[in-house]
Amino acid sequence: MIKGISILRRAEEKAVYERLSSFFSAIGFAPGAGWKDAVSTGASFLAPLGNLEFVHGKFPSVADVMFEVTSLDQAYQAAERWLRANGGDAAVKRLGEPTDSDWKARLFTVEPEPGFAFTFWAWTDPLRGKPIAMEGDLSAEGMKFAIVVARWNAVITDRLLEGALDALLRSGAKRNDIQIVRVPGAWEVPAAATTIAEQKKVDAIVTLGCLIRGETAHYEAIYNEVSRGIGQSQQDTGIPHGFGVLTCETLEQALNRAGIKAGNKGFEAASAAIEMVSVKRKIAEGGQA
């Protein structure tokens, strides 16, 4: 099952690599985990949404990599400032003027480094596609998390835990800022989550477990109490809880929802937890989107 899309651009020279990293930081991207090993170094940058598009027919001249932004003017000004600070007037010539497209959008193309062109665009109609709303960002940098995971049905919950860690780490969380707590089964998840949340030492909790109807005669009674307990913990403490407790009819169905065919619900629960921490902070700061 597809989890994400990554676009890799090779920078042969270290100085070019460092300047590109600096540019994308200046333009406002959230940093990802990146990597560094014996043979290569990678800097990653995150966006809330990603997609792959194929185009046929009339279309404006744009770069292969396009970024949608909330304010084209702010992105343009940030790009211009960076170019001027890292190359002066000669570098600013690699910044194209914003132009209108025939699909009700404005866009500009910039080359922070020669040969590395990127197009930034924004809808001219702010209501295009969806209402204006405050949304959380998928950057976990500086956030602290706890993952409460049930040992029962470990063949499933271990996959959920792997997905949750993947989401947190690739979104910028540090491994030392992630606490993992294992409990016997899904029934015990709410109690552990509440205890952690009451300490107010983490920004969010990811709850993971698996209930399979065919293995548990009192399946519905357990699920109702588990979901109620997790929801109550979130309401009482104000700490966001990502809900990743599976309720399935069969083992095959559970495996599919743990990364085989239908995505990984642990990854989704962790992503929701990151976004809710971001939304909570924005609300606390006065509603700045």
Which class for 122: exposed (0-12), middle (13-18), buried (19 or more C-beta within 10 A)?
buried
**Could you tell me the residue range of the domain that residue 233 belongs to?**
145-284
Helix residue ranges, H only, 137-249: 154-170, 189-198, 219-237
Residue-wise pLDDT for 231-254, tens only, equals: 999 999 999 999 999 888 888 888
Same domain membership, residue 157 and residue 91: no
Q: What CATH number is attached to the domain comprising 167? A: 3.40.50.960
Q: 86 near 22, Cβ under 8 Å? A: yes
pLDDT at 273 over 60: yes
Q: What sign does the CA torsion over 60, 61, 65, 70 have?
A: negative
* Of residues 168, 187, 184, 186, the one with CA closest to residue 176: 168
Same domain membership, residue 259 and residue 185: yes
Same domain membership, residue 187 and residue 104: no
Same domain membership, residue 278 and residue 163: yes
- Domain presence at residue 130: no
- Domain presence at residue 289: no
DSSP string for 48-105: S--------S------SSEEE-S-HHHHHHHHHHHHHHTTHHHHHTTBPPPEE-TTSE
Whether the model pTM is above 0.75: no
**Greater pLDDT, 243 or 37:** 243
Cα–Cα distance measured from residue 279 to residue 285, given in angstroms and rounded to the nearest whole number:
10
Which is the catalytic residue, given 218, 238, 284, 285? Answer: 218
Per-residue model confidence (pLDDT) at position 130: 56
Residue-wise pLDDT for 69-94, tens only, equals: 878 888 999 999 999 999 899 999 99
Per-residue model confidence (pLDDT) at position 2: 60
Same domain membership, residue 112 and residue 153: no
- Domain presence at residue 103: yes
- Domain presence at residue 7: no
Same domain membership, residue 150 and residue 117: no
Least confident of 20-24, 207-211, 247-251, 269-273: 247-251
Residue-wise pLDDT for 20-34, tens only, equals: 988 888 888 877 777
Same domain membership, residue 256 and residue 202: yes
User: DSSP label at 264?
Assistant: B
Same domain membership, residue 61 and residue 23: yes
The C-alpha angle with vertex 73 and arms to 116 and 11, in degrees rounded to 5, equals 15
- Domain presence at residue 58: yes
- Domain presence at residue 138: no
Number of domain units in the chain: 2
Same domain membership, residue 98 and residue 159: no
Same domain membership, residue 119 and residue 153: no
Same domain membership, residue 272 and residue 149: yes
Same domain membership, residue 152 and residue 55: no
- Domain presence at residue 134: no
Q: Which residues neighbour 138 within 8 Å (Cβ) at sequence distance 6 or greater?
A: 30, 46, 48, 171, 271, 274, 275, 278
- 56 catalytic? Reply is no
Per the listing, tokens 């860690």 go with: 165
Q: 260 near 254, Cβ under 8 Å? A: no
Domain boundary among 123, 157, 185: 123
- Domain presence at residue 247: yes
Q: What CATH number is attached to the domain comprising 51? A: 3.10.180.10
